[in-house]
C-alpha cells in the first residue's frame, strides 16, 4: 500500500503522449520527480515545458526503448540525478495489424522491439536499482507498471503481431510480480490492460525508424489500420481516466488494471475454452457484424 508520492521519482517511457503523459501529469500534481522518456522529440519537449511549468523537477531523455544501449544510458542518468526510481512506467508502445503471415521481418522487429524489449529493458535495468535501494532503506517503496493491452489477454484476428507482443508483456509482468514477492515486501508490480482508448497509438507508425521502414502495406494491414483508427478514435474512456486508475492501483497494490472491465467477458470465454479444451471462441460473438465485415473485406481483397 503506497499513499505518499510526493518527492518520489518516476520513470515514464512513452511520456510524450497517451497514458505516459497523463501519468506524468498526475505525478506533477503529486509533487513527484519525473523522468520523461520518448522517441518523439517535439512531443517530449512539449511535455517537458508543460510539466516544468507546473513546478515538477523533470529529466527528459529522447530514447528508443528497444535499444539496450540507450536504455542503459537512461538508467545511468536516472541513478546519477535522482538515485533509484520509486516508480517505473514501462509504457511505450506501437501498434501494427494485418494477417500474421503477412507481417514482414521488419514489422516483427519494430513491434517486438518497442512493445516487448522496451519493457524487458525497463525491468532488467531498474528493478535491481530499486531492490538495492529497498535493502538500504526499510521505508523505500516502489512499483513497476508495465503497459500491455486487452490484446494481451485475447487473440483478436488480423493483429497477431500486436497480440504476441502484449501477451508476452502480461506473462513477463505476472512473473515479475511473483519474483518480487519472493525477495521483497517493498516493491510490487502491475500490468495495465487497456481496451480502445484514444491515445495516438493507432498512428504510432509516425515514429517508425528509417531502418525499420515498412514495405507497401498489404490489404489486410490497410484494413487493420482502418479498423484500429475507428475503434481507438471512438473510445469513450479517456487516457486521463486510465492514468488515474493506474495510480489508484499502485496505491492499493492491485495487479490487473483495466480500462474497460466489461470486456473481461471475452477473456472469460477464452479461458473457459482453454480449460475446457475447446477451440478458440468467436472473438466477435457480441458484435457479429464486425466479424462479418472483416471477413468480407479480407476475402474481397484476395487475402
Which has the closest alpha carbon to 123: 164, 77, 65, 163?
65
What is the rounded (10 degree) CA torsion for 180, 149, 57, 186? -10
Residue pair 213/106 in contact (Cβ under 8 Å)? The answer is yes
Query: Grid cell 498526475 — which residue?
Result: 26
Q: What is the pLDDT of residues 22-55, one digit of tens each?
A: 999 999 999 999 999 999 999 999 999 999 999 9
Q: Which residues contact 238 (CB under 8 A, 6 or more apart)?
A: 197, 198
Residue 226 has pLDDT above 80, yes or no: no
Place of cell 479517456: 238
Is the model's pLDDT at 21 over the cut of 60?
yes
Strand ranges in 114-186 using DSSP code E only, listed in sequence order: 142-147
pLDDT tens profile 194-219: 987 655 554 555 556 666 566 677 87
Q: Is the dihedral of CA 294, 198, 88, 95 positive or negative?
A: positive
Q: What string of DSSP letters covers 11-40?
A: EEETTTSHHHHHHHHHHHHTT-EEEEEES-
**Count of all residues that appear for the chain in the document:** 303
Strands 256-258 and 187-193: parallel
Catalytic residue among 162, 177, 195, 258: 162
177 is known as an active-site residue: no
Domains of the chain: 9-262 (3.40.50.720)
Q: Which is more confident, 184 or 217? A: 184
Amino acid at each position: 500500500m503506497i499513499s505518499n508520492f510526493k518527492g518520489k521519482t518516476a520513470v515514464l517511457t512513452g511520456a510524450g503522449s497517451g497514458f505516459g503523459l497523463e501519468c506524468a501529469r498526475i505525478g506533477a500534481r503529486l509533487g513527484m520527480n519525473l523522468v520523461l522518456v520518448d522517441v518523439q522529440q517535439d512531443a517530449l519537449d512539449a511535455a517537458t515545458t508543460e510539466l516544468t511549468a507546473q513546478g515538477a523537477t523533470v529529466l527528459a531523455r529522447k530514447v528508443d526503448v528497444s535499444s539496450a544501449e540507450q536504455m542503459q544510458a537512461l538508467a545511468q542518468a536516472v541513478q546519477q540525478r535522482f538515485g533509484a526510481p520509486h516508480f517505473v512506467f514501462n509504457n511505450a508502445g506501437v501498434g501494427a495489424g494485418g494477417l500474421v503471415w503477412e507481417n514482414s521481418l521488419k514489422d516483427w522487429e519494430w513491434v517486438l522491439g518497442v512493445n516487448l524489449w522496451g519493457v524487458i529493458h525497463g525491468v532488467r535495468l531498474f528493478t535491481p536499482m530499486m531492490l538495492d535501494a529497498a535493502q538500504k532503506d526499510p521505508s523505500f517503496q516502489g512499483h513497476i507498471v508495465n503497459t500491455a493491452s486487452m490484446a494481451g489477454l485475447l487473440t483478436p484476428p488480423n493483429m497477431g503481431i500486436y497480440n504476441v507482443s502484449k501477451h508476452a508483456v502480461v506473462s513477463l509482468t505476472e512473473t515479475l510480480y511473483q519474483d518480487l514477492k519472493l525477495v521483497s515486501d517493498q516493491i510490487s508490480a502491475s500490468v495495465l490492460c487497456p481496451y480502445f482508448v484514444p491515445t495516438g497509438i493507432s498512428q504510432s507508425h509516425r515514429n517508425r525508424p528509417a531502418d525499420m521502414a515498412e514495405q507497401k502495406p498489404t490489404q489486410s494491414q490497410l484494413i487493420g489500420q482502418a479498423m484500429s483508427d475507428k475503434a481507438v478514435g471512438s473510445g469513450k474512456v479517456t487516457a486521463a481516466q486510465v492514468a488515474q486508475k493506474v495510480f489508484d492501483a499502485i496505491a492499493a497494490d492491485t495487479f490487473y488494471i483495466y480500462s474497460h472491465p466489461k470486456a473481461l467477458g471475452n477473456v472469460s470465454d477464452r479461458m473457459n475454452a482453454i480449460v475446457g479444451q475447446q477451440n478458440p471462441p468467436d472473438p466477435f460473438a457480441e458484435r457479429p457484424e464486425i466479424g462479418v465485415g472483416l471477413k468480407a473485406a479480407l476475402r474481397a481483397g484476395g487475402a
